[in-house]
Amino acid sequence: MTFLFLCDAERGAVFARAFAEHLHGVRFSMDLDVVDPNDVRYIMTWKPPKDLARYPNLDAVFCIGAGVDQFSNGSLPYGVKLIRMVDEGITRMVVEYVVMAVLSLHRNLHVYIDQQRRRLWREVVPQAQPADRRVSILGIGVLGQAALAKLQDFGFKLSAWSRSARSIDGVECFRGQDGLYEMLGATDILVCLLPLTSETRGILNERLFSALPRGTSIVHAGRGRQLDSDALVAALDTGHLSGAFLDVADPEPLPSDHPLWRHPKVIITPHIAAITQPASAAMTTIENLKLLQAGRAPIGLVDREDFSS
């Protein structure tokens, strides 16, 4: 059986070495021209290939990244598993990003950056203390739980929301639509780490922003299509939101004339919260292949019903 790697050759070389050392019985290939399509059981890619029908024995498609909304248009044949990357390297980088963004908003970095551009030396007073700020996270998956654990070190009051009931020590957890708006009403910094699904598309909108207390700031490291950019600009312009730290947008990159680029209350990064680290990702993939071969569910198996349009 063949594992077909359809990503960049640099990372592919790292994967090839790991497969040769740690996995036997699965052929690793990056060359479409030399593989027998009938032998291909697994494919790793970022975007769904257009010709998946030529692999009649395909069992699973591995996404090399954590986000899988690019597979939401029914591009995978029925019965083919979709597995997103759940890897320590990605988790660590997302946690770093969330902590950086939360602390930046907490300490008014966006205000000071704007003042620096205007050559203005002015202290923002009073400076709130962590015990007086509530940080709320949308999404309590692997990334959300890891970010909450690290934020506890700083003494923030913490809340989190998910579709189903969860319990985390030191975190007030909410669920469902009513729980979402109850949590929003007591939030000072809101962090979005949700996957993109039919339910979360456009979730960061005027209604959600209006449910936040005046002066709340947001961190968006989920997916670009979850954000209504016009609603965000309006909420920032009226002062209802005090700041935004954005890693994703729709489209990416934003058009050069988009008002978010030059907004004094916004910090933008170019979708770099997490970048797949090939060495750890290769080992994560190998462990998942062993689970599949043993007839067990792999880590990161996607419920494709969540990605219906």
User: How many angstroms separate the CA atoms of 292 and 141, rounded?
Assistant: 22
DSSP β-bridge partners for residue 133: none
What pLDDT was estimated at residue 309?
A: 43
Q: What angle do CA 213, 161, 100 make, to 5 degrees?
A: 70
Whether 223 sits among the annotated catalytic residues: the reply is: yes
Q: Is residue 220 within 8 Å of 227, Cβ to Cβ?
A: yes
What is the mean pLDDT, run by run of 10 residues, along the chain of 309 residues? 96 97 95 94 92 93 92 82 94 97 98 98 97 97 96 98 93 96 98 93 98 98 97 98 97 96 98 94 97 95 69
Straight-line distance from the first to the last Cα atom of the chain, in angstroms, rounded to the nearest whole number: 33
Tokens of 85: 């990357």
pLDDT at residue 307 in the model: 56
Q: At what angle do helices 109-117 and 88-106 cross, to 10 degrees?
A: 60
Catalytic residue among 134, 223, 225, 263: 223
Ordered by where they begin, the domains of the chain are: 2-87+276-307 (3.40.50.720), 89-268 (3.40.50.720)
Helix (H) or strand (E) holding 114: helix 109-117
Active site residue 24: no
Check: CB of residue 85 under 8 Å from CB of residue 284.
yes
Q: What is the pLDDT of residue 253?
A: 95
For position 306, what pLDDT does the model report?
Answer: 63
What pLDDT score does 50 carry? Answer: 84
Whose tokens are 């498609």? That residue is 61
pLDDT tens-digit series, residues 87-102: 999 999 999 999 999 9
Q: Which of 163, 166, 201, 271 is catalytic?
A: 271
pLDDT value, residue 49: 86
For 68, how many CA atoms within 13 A lie in the half-sphere containing its CB?
25
CB 286 within 8 A of CB 95: no
Are 270 and 261 in contact by the 8 Å Cβ rule? The answer is: no
> What pLDDT, on the 0 to 100 scale, is given for residue 48?
87
Q: In this predicted model, what pLDDT tens digit does every residue of 159-193 receive, in sequence order?
A: 999 988 899 999 999 999 999 999 999 999 999 99
| CB within 8 Å of 50: residues ≥ 6 apart | none
H or E element in which residue 25 lies: none
